[in-house]
Amino acid sequence: MPAIVVLGAQWGDEGKGKATDLLATSDPIDYVVRTSGGHNAGHTIVIDGEKFATHLLPSGILTPGATSVIANGVVVSPEALFEELDALLERGVEIGGLVVSANAHVIASYHGVVDKVSERFLGKNKIGTTGRGIGPAYADKINRVGIRVADLFDEGILREKVDAALEVRNQLLTKVYNRRGVEAEAVVEELLSYAERLRPMVADTSLLLNRALDEGCTVLFEGAQATMLDVDHGTYPFVTSSNPIAGGVCTGAGVGPTRIDRVIGVIKAYTTRVGSGPFPTELFDDDGERLQRIGGEIGVSTGRTRRCGWYDAVVARYSARVNGLTEFFLTKLDVLDHWDRIPVCVAYEIDGVRHDEMPMTQTEFHHARPVYEFFDGWGGDISGCRSFADLPKNAQVYVHALEEMSGAKFWGVGVGPGREQTLVVHP
Ligand code: GDP
Ligand code: IMO
Ligand code: MG
């Protein structure tokens, strides 16, 4: 039985929440798993016209019968976790099981402080992070001074680890950033205050998921962030601090690559990006403003306006390659209803040379100019279409052309935010 990965193929906010929700409701899914990132994610799900947003929790938390898992590769802010859970409970959402890995690293309040001051310190070179402490928490993990969920249940060890983590951090905060240091005891108290509520949720999630797969359960790995934000394969340094690509699912969940059956890349019919960094098809004209407005391109987590541009098939092919995509899920086709002529970037021109694939260096990528092909619009509202054959001819041509140039088949197409607004291209 399948292990399915759903991930972002561009710079995030492609509609992963919707794709996950759709998969989880069309076939019975036993587990929905987050494997990287933290509450920097913002996934929107619209059920019967009602809108939900998840951040640290997988979108599967809204699927009756599915168990949600926060696996070892995620960085967990206990404060954000309980805030999110409580907000859902307050709305009367019936929440299934939630399991958190004992090995997941913890985001404490000082990680958020460091995130914000280091961004300020970078000035015009800032990354434009979500300010959630994601980078500093992963930095501590790699520096081997991180706090893990299991540490919250041993006060002595927790105290030792917090002391070790703050030793260098406080030097940096006081001597480099000119800030007040963080008091270790306050951090210990803060983390201990979550221990009791967290304890029953904590397990060895790698063991749990591998056993579930052995027993024939269906496991859906819900990606956060996206391929072009991957710390290894994205537009470094303008990236997040984790591996949101398909390979990151294996390290982030403790599940081997041979167990994965499908890898679905979610991709918008145009492109958006939040935060700093290169973006070859970005628009600074009226079209960009219209994509932003019609597409409702405002960040779910930070409320920031998303930068907008046309579909970039070079990015799509790159994503298909580094993730080994078995298929794409194309979202927001309906947003393009309003254009008579739709440009698609098929290659880059870099210093007078055509590049059909992602250039080798970031410097080249910063200089990439899009080479466009143009498609005729379909001049009508497609949000009511319920099968691919219902789409106007030009919309079908557009989808097939993108599929042809993007490096993997298109499984489905979104024509609106609702569950029902999805057309299957290849069942
Ligand atoms: P995620 O982070 O990848 O889960 O995506 P976000 O939730 O941040 O942003 C995607 C936005 O697009 C949300 O507001 C979704 O409700 C919306 N959305 C998803 N699919 C479609 C679609 O096919 N058409 C339209 N118009 N909106 C969509
Ligand atoms: P979802 O899962 C879009 C971006 C931030 C910033 C960079 C680093 O909703 O697609 P971080 O706080 O992670 O250190 O910020 O990554 N970023 C996202 N952009 N969607 C996201 O998540 C993102 N998560 C992080 O804007 O540019
Ligand atoms: Mg999002």
Query: For 224-250, how does the pLDDT look when each residue is reduced to its tens digit (9 = 90+)?
Result: 999 999 999 999 999 999 999 999 999
Report the nearest atom of ligand 2 relative to the CA of 134.
14
Average pLDDT, rounded, for the chain: 96
Q: Are 329 and 410 in contact (CB under 8 A)?
A: yes
Q: Whose CA is nearest to atom 17 of ligand 1?
A: 417
Range(s) of the chain covered by CATH 1.10.300.10: 105-200
Cβ contacts of residue 354 below 8 Å, gap of 6+? 347, 348, 371
Distance, CA 39 to ligand 2 centroid (Å)?
10
Residue 341 Cα to ligand 3 middle (Å): 27
**How far apart are the C-alpha atoms of 83 and 92, rounded to whole Å?**
14
- Domain(s) of CATH 3.90.170.10: residues in the chain: 3-94+205-424
The binding-site residues of ligand 2, defined as CB within 6 angstroms of any ligand atom, are: 8, 12-13, 40-43, 127-130, 132, 134-135, 224-226, 229, 240-241, 274-275
Helices marked H in 70-226: 78-90, 109-122, 134-142, 155-171, 184-198, 205-214
Calculate mean pLDDT across residues 175-202.
Answer: 96
Neighbours of ion ligand 3 (CB under 5 A): 13, 42, 300
Residue 223 CA, closest ligand 2 atom number: 2
Which of 129, 304, 332 most suits a substitution to test ligand 2, by most atoms within 8 Å of the C-beta?
129
**Residue range 52-63, pLDDT digits in tens:** 999 999 998 998
Distance (angstroms) between ligand 2 centre and the Cα of 228 equals 10
At residue 1 the predicted structure's pLDDT band, cuts being 50, 70 and 90, is: low
Kindly state the percentage of the chain with pLDDT values over 90. Answer: 91
- The fold adopted by the segment(s) 105-200 is Adenylosuccinate Synthetase, subunit A; domain 2 (1.10.300)
| pLDDT tens sequence across 112-138 | 999 999 999 999 999 999 999 999 999
Phi-psi region of 129 (alpha: psi -120 to 50; beta: other; left: phi over 0): beta
User: What digits encode the pLDDT tens for the residues 357-396?
Assistant: 999 999 999 999 999 999 999 999 999 999 999 999 999 9
Q: Which residues are catalytic?
A: 13, 43
Mean pLDDT of 204-221: 97
Residue 427 has pLDDT above 80, yes or no: no
CATH number of 3-94+205-424: 3.90.170.10
